[in-house]
Amino acid sequence: MDALRVGLIGLGTVGTGVARILIEQSARMKLRTGREIRLTKVAVRDTFKPRSIDLPTSLVTSDPMAVATSPDVDVVVELIGGLKPARDIVLAALKAGKDVITANKALLCQHGDELFAAAREAKRCIAFEAAVAGGVPIIHTLSQSMTANQITSIQAILNGTSNFILTEMFQKQAAYADAVALAQQLGFAEADPSMDVKGTDAAQKLGLLTLLAFGTRVTPDQFLVQGIDTIELADLEYADELGYAVKLVATAKLVAGKLELHTQPTLVRADRPIAQTDGPFNIIGLTGDIVGTTWYSGQGAGGMPTASAVVSDLIDVAAGRARNNFERLDLWGSHPPFPLQPVEEVNRRYYLRMEVEDRAHVMAEITDALGRNEISLASIIQHETPEPEEVATSGGRPRFVPLVIMTHKTLEGRLRKAGEALAKLGCIRTPWVCMPISD
Amino acid sequence: MDALRVGLIGLGTVGTGVARILIEQSARMKLRTGREIRLTKVAVRDTFKPRSIDLPTSLVTSDPMAVATSPDVDVVVELIGGLKPARDIVLAALKAGKDVITANKALLCQHGDELFAAAREAKRCIAFEAAVAGGVPIIHTLSQSMTANQITSIQAILNGTSNFILTEMFQKQAAYADAVALAQQLGFAEADPSMDVKGTDAAQKLGLLTLLAFGTRVTPDQFLVQGIDTIELADLEYADELGYAVKLVATAKLVAGKLELHTQPTLVRADRPIAQTDGPFNIIGLTGDIVGTTWYSGQGAGGMPTASAVVSDLIDVAAGRARNNFERLDLWGSHPPFPLQPVEEVNRRYYLRMEVEDRAHVMAEITDALGRNEISLASIIQHETPEPEEVATSGGRPRFVPLVIMTHKTLEGRLRKAGEALAKLGCIRTPWVCMPISD
């Protein structure tokens, strides 16, 4: 059988890993597919930059479009990320009759409809195992292994950087800024970590999983997305005291025929698999109406784990499986999408931490504001503080003490109204912290 | 496209689940594959037995061979288990031009070579996602998602019954026999639980995973297989005190080019995913040379989770993926199999619990016997016991006290020699308990 000729666009950490595997493991690739998988073109931004991998100069170009449309390429691997010029490159490659492999969740989440339609039009495929959870084969699992089921719930840690930072803060008693600096130093976070720590990256990945599991297209602007950048060490410690861990949890689940979606720092009971997933790891729990809940975990980022997923897609293309898989993917809504549950109707327990004025009647005012919005309290922590006369005076300014409240289940809408009422009281320092508690 | 016509052989828990899904979820099946998946024949042992599912009488027969060779059947689902008549049925089905789906690990582990060859000869496929770990898609993962990797290690809980019993013993402070009785009562264990509790079932599943991951065919008689039937509550409690849990762990790993294989009750550090997997659940850790370690877990047995895996195979057959997958499976040794590491060379830490005579010099004799075999001790537990004069005399018979020893790494061969030396001392009650400790 003819060799499968690969055009690689982008030679960062993942791209370098893919090139290395194709060059060093060519015998293995042939054993798995019966064909050679050969790297024939590589596009890089800077052809003069020194690389950790030796590539023949004849392979390398700085023109990604030349790779996308080259007659010497059968399949294009897009690893540059972002929307521009990735979208144009993928469309050009499909139009030129290439199959496409991508790890670009932002692109698929934003322009998936257009790209999938273009692939179907060209009778080619898009494979994207590497777009979610690095080396964990969650795309294969959802699109092939769980097909007997209607997925009813996805609960996941999808951003390794955030999880590393939260773990580091808790285990080393570190402040948020210090943990971020360490993550950058170790290569787990970008110089600008905002896509990771603000929850966008996890929300885009949740969008892709939602498309596969529920046939419903969503973008992060349509649901609750919060990052870990407002979390303080104190919250991790209170959570621990209460028997929980704080994780950036991405959730998509069917509730009475509507799709509840959110990506937020969340308190998770310490004995649950999500709470036990530490460091730069990802974990995904899938619940199906037949199989029950199954769990998948592993390194969610990093060059080699993600390269492993890209190469498994290449092997699927070479073996002739990828197009069949893509054709059968129920991505384009042959069943109607599920309506999204309005944010106000999301029904959960909540953790509230606030600095409140240390004077008589404050607790009555706060619990009254909550109670009038039908929010009932499950537990309260107010640690003993020194008597006012024992501490230095603060020049007549009111003294504040921390108060932690766990609520019973309530609607997000009621919580927001209660928030407005609490803000009017004037006895609570802003901003306070509010996190959902997972079931 | 024509309907895919299914012949189902065996209508136990899993078979009933499969029939129910095909009947109740026919719209879903069509959505996933573009074709109807239709149940056309069902073979049962006793056609008069009342069933929880209504099947037209015209579908049901007591002759499995009639189903295997029926002209109205495209794919045969074998769910009767065991070697006879399952082997003949599968061979007949393949010869008659049917694809075959089976959950029968005993059959595949014992006669896999013959059956796979017959399938290749007939240009048909055998799909067996349900043979290992129920609803956890470990066969898909190994044969499709991890293909960029050479797997270097598998570590797994593959028998839900044993894991349920161990969990029950520890959590409820129950004796082994009581936990087995409860497992039987709840349907987690057969009337004769020996395949499960003696480790055979887990070892057969490990054999299948080893074939996929290492291209090496092994049967349970070729490696160390021990069950949980000799474990006492005391061992679970000592392990807990030392920071470990006891699990029936199935291991296959490459050590210097040789394949180390064993299925044994094992001490696993409490913070590891395997130690945290309780009840009737399975978990599999796969380490690949590129991806690192990824974990997969879920309900390992039970009618519906296993039926979910069978139906995902049916969907693969209907969608045309199954034959492609099967052709590419590197099952028939296109690379040479790995040699097995001789048992004597397996290098691990060990936990020893023995009842030793409570008299002077006993500890010196025991540690001398171990030391002469180059086994060095990592820790010792001997809890304080009442002074001999404080307890009622036992009529001149020697008094025994429990002693727990954790060794540093040593070879199984040395451990066995030390065992012979310890047996000669006469100060240790037989049998004593010896379990490996996982890395």
Enter the ipTM. Answer: 0.94
Of B335, B185, B341, B193, the closest CA to residue B262 belongs to B341
Q: Is the pLDDT of residue B398 over 80?
A: no
CB pairs under 8 A between A and B: 169
Whole-number Å distance between alpha carbons of A29 and A35: 7
Q: What is the mean pLDDT of residues B415-438?
A: 93
pLDDT tens for residues A399-422?
Answer: 889 999 999 999 999 999 999 999
Q: Which of A31, A294, A316 sits opposite B136 (nearest CB)?
A: A294
- Kindly report, residue by residue over A10-19, the tens digit of the pLDDT: 999 999 999 9
Q: How far apart are CA A300 and CA B132, in angstroms?
A: 25
Q: Does A146 contact B320 at a Cβ distance shorter than 8 Å?
A: no
Cβ-contact A291, B298 below 8 angstroms? yes
- The CATH number fitting domain A138-299, selected from 2.60.40.10, 3.30.360.10, 3.40.50.20, 3.40.640.10: 3.30.360.10
A259, A265, A270, A273: CA torsion to nearest 10: 50
Query: Are B328 and A295 in contact (CB < 8 Å)?
Result: no
**d(C-alpha B397, C-alpha B377), whole Å:** 30
A37: how many CB neighbours lie within 10 A of its CB?
24
Partners of A311 on chain B (C-beta within 8 Å) are: 147-148, 290
Q: Contact B298/A294, CB-based, under 8 Å?
A: yes
- The CA distance from B219 to the nearest CA of chain A, in Å, is 24
CA distance B222 to B381: 34
Q: How many whole angstroms separate alpha carbon A267 and alpha carbon A277? A: 13
In angstroms, the separation between the Cα of residue B21 and the nearest Cα of chain A is 8
Specify the 3-state DSSP secondary structure of A267.
Answer: strand
Q: At the topology level of CATH, where does B347-437 sit?
A: Alpha-Beta Plaits (3.30.70)
Distance of residue A89 Cα from the nearest chain B Cα, in angstroms: 25
* Residue B407 pLDDT greater than 80, yes or no: yes
Cα A101 to Cα A343: distance, rounded to the nearest angstrom: 35
Query: Mean pLDDT highest for which of B26-35, B188-197, B252-261?
Result: B252-261
Q: Identify the burial level of A369 via C-beta atoms within 10 angstroms of its C-beta, where 0-12 means exposed, 13-18 middle and 19 or more buried.
A: buried
pLDDT grade for B389, boundaries at 50, 70 and 90 = low
Please answer yes or no on whether A330 and B296 come within 8 Å at the CB atom.
no
Q: How confident is the model over B149-186, as pLDDT tens digits?
A: 999 999 999 999 999 999 999 999 999 999 999 999 98
Pairing state between β B37-43 and B60-61: parallel
Of A32, A150, A299, the CB nearest to B147: A32
Active site residue B409: no
User: In angstroms, what separates the C-alpha of B265 from chain A's closest C-alpha?
Assistant: 23
| pLDDT interval class at A242 (50, 70, 90) | very high
Among A249-263, B298-312, B403-417, which is the least confidently predicted range?
B298-312
| Averaged pLDDT, A350-363 | 92
pLDDT at A396: 65
How far apart are the CA of B329 and the nearest CA of chain A, in angstroms? 8
Out of 1.20.1250.20, 3.90.226.10, 3.20.20.140, 3.30.360.10, which CATH number does the structure's domain B138-298 have?
Answer: 3.30.360.10
| pLDDT (average), residues A331-359 | 87
| pLDDT value, residue B328 | 85
The answer to whether the Cβ–Cβ distance between B149 and A321 falls below 8 Å is: no
Which is the catalytic residue, given A41, A105, A205, A253?
Answer: A205
Residue A210: the pLDDT is: 95
φ, ψ dihedrals at A420, nearest 5°? -65, -40
3-state per-residue secondary structure call for A73-112: CCEEEECCCCCCCHHHHHHHHHHCCCEEEECCHHHHHHHH
What pLDDT does residue A249 have? Answer: 98
Chain B residue at shortest CA distance from A140 = B145
Q: Is the pLDDT of residue B59 over 70?
A: yes
For residue B308, the chain A residues in CB contact (below 8 A) are 146, 148-149, 288, 290-291
Tens of pLDDT, residues B199-256? 999 999 999 999 999 999 999 999 999 999 999 999 999 999 999 999 999 999 999 9
CB–CB contact A144 B276 (8 Å): no
Q: Of A48-57, A139-148, A208-217, B58-67, which gets the smallest average pLDDT?
A: A48-57
Structure tokens at A200: 């966008």
Average pLDDT for B295-304:
90
Across the interface, do A324 and B325 touch by the CB < 8 Å criterion?
A: no
**Domain map (residue ranges) of chain A:** 4-134+305-328, 138-299, 343-437
Residue of A nearest to B316 (CA): A144
Inter-chain residue contact B290 with A17, CB threshold 8 Å: yes
Which tokens is B209 given? 């995973």
Nearest CA in chain A to B302: A291
Instruction: Tell me the CA distances in angstroms from A320 to A32, A124, B118, one per residue in order.
Output: 12, 11, 23
Which of A146, A290, A324 is the closest to B324 by Cβ? A324
Residues of B in contact with A287 (CB under 8 A): none
Task: Decide if B141 and A140 are in contact by the 8 Å CB cutoff.
Answer: yes
Residue of A294, A304, A316 with shortest CB distance to B291? A304
Question: How far B340 CA lies from chain A's nearest CA (Å)?
Answer: 21
Comparing CB atoms, the residue among B129, B291, B305 nearest residue A135 is B291
Residue A108 predicted with pLDDT over 80: yes
- CB nearest to A31's CB, from B324, B325, B334: B334
Q: Which of B292, B297, B328 sits opposite A305 (nearest CB)?
A: B292
Instruction: Test B299 with A292 for CB contact under 8 angstroms.
Output: yes
- Mean pLDDT, to the nearest integer, of A129-143? 95
CATH of domain A343-437: 3.30.70.260
Q: Which residue of A has its CA nearest to B35?
A: A328
Comparing alpha-carbon positions, the chain A residue that sits nearest to B143 is A32
* Inter-chain CB proximity A147 and B273 less than 8 Å: no
Chain B: give the shortest CA distance to residue A334, in Å.
Answer: 8
CA distances to A191, B26, B36, B37, B130 from B23, in Å = 55, 6, 11, 9, 19
| Averaged pLDDT of chain A | 93
Cα–Cα distance measured from residue A310 to residue A11, given in angstroms and rounded to the nearest whole number: 13
d(CA B263, CA B152): 17
Find, in chain B, the residue whose alpha carbon is nearest to that of A27: B335
pTM of the full predicted structure? 0.95
Q: Are A60 and A29 in contact (CB under 8 A)?
A: no
Task: Tell whether omega for the bond before A336 is within 30 degrees of 0, i.e. cis.
Answer: no
Q: How far does A288 lie from chain B, in Å, by closest CA? A: 9
Continuous segment of H or E residues that includes residue A436 = strand A433-437
Report the percent of chain A where pLDDT is more than 90: 83
The CATH architecture of the domain made up of B4-134+305-328 is 3-Layer(aba) Sandwich (3.40)
CB–CB contact B141 A146 (8 Å): no
CA atoms of A34 and B109, how far apart (whole Å)? 25
Residue in B41, B98, B198, B205 annotated catalytic? B205
pLDDT for A328:
85
pLDDT given at position B166: 98
Of B307, B315, B324, Cβ closest to residue A319: B324
Asked if the Cβ–Cβ distance from A308 to B291 is below 8 Å, we say yes
Contact, A296 vs A137, CB < 8 A?
yes
Per the CB < 8 A criterion, the answer to whether B429 and B358 are in contact is no
- The answer to whether B308 contacts A149, with C-beta atoms less than 8 Å apart, is yes
